[in-house]
Structure 1
């Protein structure tokens, strides 16, 4: 809610965000992990051309109130509602449990999105 404009707050975008929380191809970090890392550090992880080395680039994220993590050397968890919620989610359950929760939410939201599309 603090990182996107009201017009971006759609079920489709929420589904995309939840999908980013699912592990892909045995990667250590999910796309969502990387997004929140970017908020916390002010830098984003980028794989180099060799696919092995991790490079660090300044984040382009900007919160709706104008706060940019790159300009403040990242944001402390206590300073951001979404970071606080994410950290609780990340530490509260195993990777498998998080995957199960996200998968269930995705199924429910996809059903809601279909109902909306058909005007029900």
Structure 2
């Protein structure tokens, strides 16, 4: 959920804000002082406006048992992201680490803080 960005507010890593109709994710905890500027002025230092990253994060789910996954799904399992390369119904024996390269592949985001 995104909230309106405001001055004089403490933001922690992972907070999501909207400023001038652009969505940002906090990548470094900080207090929003006038001297720091708004998210568009501190993009890539305190905030990221990477639309792909924000969209991707909203589509990532935790891997779970007894769920049908389809090619292209992205899941989080033990602090890693995996990309589904073949449709499957999940069970403990076909979790991403157990069936890597057959059903799942590592999904790596450069400079990501997901």
Aligning the two structures, in what range does the TM-score lie when normalised by the shorter sequence? under 0.3
Larger Rg: 2
More helix, by proportion:
1
More strand, by proportion:
2
State the TM-score, normalized to the length of structure 2.
0.24
State the TM-score, normalized to the length of structure 1.
0.23
